[in-house]
Amino acid sequence: MFSFGSWLNITSTDRILALLLGCFVVFLAARIFLSRSYSDVASVPGPGGGHWLWGHEREIFLNPAGSKFSEWFEKYGHVVRYKGAMAHQDLLVVADPRFIHHMLTDNPYNYVKSPVFRPLVERLLGRGLIWAEHDEHRQQRKVLNPAFSPANVRGMAPELRARLESTLQENGGSITTNIMKWTAIATLDIIGRVGFNHDFKGGETQEAKDIQKAWTDQVNAGMETAAFYAQIFLRTFPFLLYIPVDAIQKQGDIKMVINRLAEMFLKRGADVEKGRNLLSLMVKANSQGDGKMSNKQMIDHITTFVVVGHETTAGSLNMTLLELARNRACQQKLRDEVLGLGREPTYEDLTNPDVLPYLDAVIKEGLRLHPPGAYMDRVAVKDDVVPLSTPITTPSGEVLHSLRIRAGQFIQIPNISINRVNSAWKDGQVFRPERWIEPGGLPLRSEMQGGWSNIMSFSEGPRLCIGYRLALLEYKCILAMLIRNFEFWDTGAEIETKFSATMQPRVVGKEAEGAQLPLKVTLVEN
């Protein structure tokens, strides 16, 4: 039995160790108590269990993009807790509209990108809009916003159409069966010309080939199981990002390729008096007002717009073509509408939903099911109380109308799953453009999100995609031209989608071949 006398007989070193151990136990107990006394996260329902080392995160990675989150939203509600890997705190995944609006619109700088995501973005794209936070993001957005105004996007429309027609001609009026290769070239060509007055010549220039190879290598590596383990280890041991391992360092290859181009663009200069391309507008905007950006910042923005401006549009377009190939009646209805216009669609035709309503509906449905950015993550900067659209009933029966969270809480926003929630969309996994036209086809206002067309495809709030107008114009222009000239047929291949920087389709059973989307393509019969 312990006595004060026995304590006196312990050596001073042992006493110190015992005191330190006691202090640690008290600290740990206090931390757990304080965490649970403020945070409601432990009471949020979720799948439970999980792998002892990988939690639920490996399960999420190994399944098709968004599928586990969709399953959990149906089963547990629109705020779900799941187990993190390698003893990471429990994570939240949310589809609740008020929760998301509170984070992204009302308090966008109190919920920042994770400390793992930002270094990866910096390595891939540089310190542009996607990387920036707080005042730096506000300033960058202020300078760049004018370049993406409706009037300026309209001014880019003729060049966009000319570039698309040229790309079709350079490909002999036909396109390859792996539709991904053609759309990637087409969108890169368009962003090159419309954005920076640069001709990638149908993907035949060396820099175009270098960009395509670097991006393909990047996304294919990101779909491998090893990428999951790398992500988890980087989150746990961030210093690993800087070790000279080839697989990690290759993440910067595409940035180096485009940085060289960007430097050339800036040295060549832009005709700021007459230019209507994105570079000219950026240079003009940067020369006016306060907060002028450095050449390095401009280069990072160019890199961001080249990568994001072609790959995200191509990704959603690819999957929309697959949906139309599988839904022949929808495809023919769209073709009849476009051909029935009796002329090439103008900018006004493409931006007025009353002129081509079914094209508008197909675009919205394609973006709903296949958003360019499938996932976002955020980390709470400080303790907060978050309002909820739908109360949470905890396992103990308590009803929560808001959720207390602590600083450091990791939160996932899976746009691909949010856009498909059945409680809002009824048949959320089904491609059905008519929902955007027919009365009562859309969710109730209280069930809708706050982004473009009340879906999360371009995010919402101050971080809503700055180039969404140009992306929509490009998307509609390409789809209208393709559907007027070609028919798309399903090959019967089983396609799964994986998330690797953006959404990537691949053929089940041919995973080793990387991202691909085989479609049969034939000319429309006159």
pLDDT digits (tens, 9 = 90+) for 290-319: 667 888 988 999 999 998 888 888 999 999
Is pLDDT of 165 > 80? no
Spatial strand order of the sheet with 79-82 comes to 79-82, 91-94, 410-413, 376-380, 111-112
CA distance 61 to 144: 35
CA distance 482 to 524: 10
Residue 203 in tokens: 């993907």
10 Å CB burial of residue 60 (0-12, 13-18, 19+) is: buried
| Low-confidence winner among 30-34, 207-211, 348-352 (lowest mean pLDDT) | 30-34
Is pLDDT of 274 > 80? no
Q: At CA 246, angle to CA 515 and CA 265, rounded to 5?
A: 70
Side chain identity, residue 221: A
Residue 150 in tokens: 């409706």
Please report which confidence band the pLDDT of residue 67 belongs to, taking 50, 70 and 90 as the band edges.
very high
Cα torsion angle, 76, 80, 83, 84, sign: positive
Side chain identity, residue 436: W
CA distance 327 to 333: 10
CA-based max dimension of the chain: 103
> For strand 410-413 and strand 91-94, is the pairing parallel, antiparallel, or unpaired?
parallel
For residue 348, give every residue at least 6 positions away whose Cβ sits within 8 Å of its Cβ, in sequence order, or none.
Answer: 355
Q: Are 73 and 97 in contact (CB under 8 A)?
A: no
For residue 515, give the nearest of 178, 209, 252 by alpha carbon: 178
| Low-confidence winner among 245-259, 421-435, 487-501 (lowest mean pLDDT) | 245-259
Average pLDDT, the chain: 87
CA distance 323 to 495: 11
Is pLDDT of 273 > 90? no
- How many angstroms separate the Cα of 243 from the Cα of each of 117, 234, 251, 404? 17, 11, 13, 38
For residue 394, give the nearest of 405, 403, 384, 381 by alpha carbon: 403
Any alpha helices (H) in 77-205, and if so which ranges?
A: 97-101, 117-124, 134-144, 150-170, 179-190, 196
β-sheet bridge partners, residue 518 = 178
Amino acid 459: pLDDT: 94
Side chain identity, residue 111: Y
For residue 265, give every residue at least 6 positions away whose Cβ sits within 8 Å of its Cβ, in sequence order, or none.
Answer: 196, 198, 279, 302
Mean pLDDT of 331-341: 97
3-state per-residue secondary structure call for 137-170: HHHHHHHHHHHHCHHHHHHHHHHHHHHHHHHHHH
Is pLDDT of 16 > 70? no
Mean pLDDT of 236-254: 73
Amino acid 418: pLDDT: 98
Is pLDDT of 412 > 90? yes
CA distance 88 to 77: 23
Q: Are 258 and 205 in contact (CB under 8 A)?
A: no
| Low-confidence winner among 89-93, 234-238, 240-244, 432-436 (lowest mean pLDDT) | 240-244
Is pLDDT of 55 > 80? yes
Higher local confidence (pLDDT), 491 or 21: 491
Is pLDDT of 25 > 60? no
β-sheet bridge partners, residue 405 = 384
Cα torsion angle, 143, 115, 118, 419, sign: negative
DSSP state of 89: P
Amino acid 31: pLDDT: 45
Q: How many Cβ atoms are within 10 Å of 524's Cβ, its own excluded? A: 12
Residue 218 in tokens: 């990047």
Higher local confidence (pLDDT), 309 or 65: 65
Side chain identity, residue 487: E
Amino acid 94: pLDDT: 99
- How many angstroms separate the Cα of 200 from the Cα of each of 211, 267, 298? 11, 18, 20
Mean pLDDT of 390-413: 95
Amino acid 351: pLDDT: 92
Residue 124 in tokens: 């891939």
- How many angstroms separate the Cα of 189 from the Cα of each of 390, 477, 505? 45, 14, 22
Amino acid 18: pLDDT: 62
Side chain identity, residue 157: A
pTM score: 0.89
Check whether 23 is labelled as a binding-site residue: no
Q: Does domain 125-375+473-526 have CATH number 1.10.630.10?
A: yes
Please report which confidence band the pLDDT of residue 267 belongs to, taking 50, 70 and 90 as the band edges.
confident
Is pLDDT of 440 > 90? yes
β-sheet bridge partners, residue 251 = none
DSSP state of 392: E
CA 102 to chain centre: 19
Is pLDDT of 168 > 80? no
Amino acid 173: pLDDT: 60
Q: Are 279 and 196 in contact (CB under 8 A)?
A: yes
Taking the CA atoms of residue 94, residue 97, residue 98 and residue 100 in that order, the dihedral angle to the nearest 10 degrees is 50
For residue 314, give the nearest of 173, 230, 190, 199 by alpha carbon: 190
β-sheet bridge partners, residue 378 = 411
Question: Would you report the helix, strand and coil content of the chain in percent, each value rounded to 5?
Answer: 55, 10, 30
Q: How many Cβ atoms are within 10 Å of 236's Cβ, its own excluded? A: 14
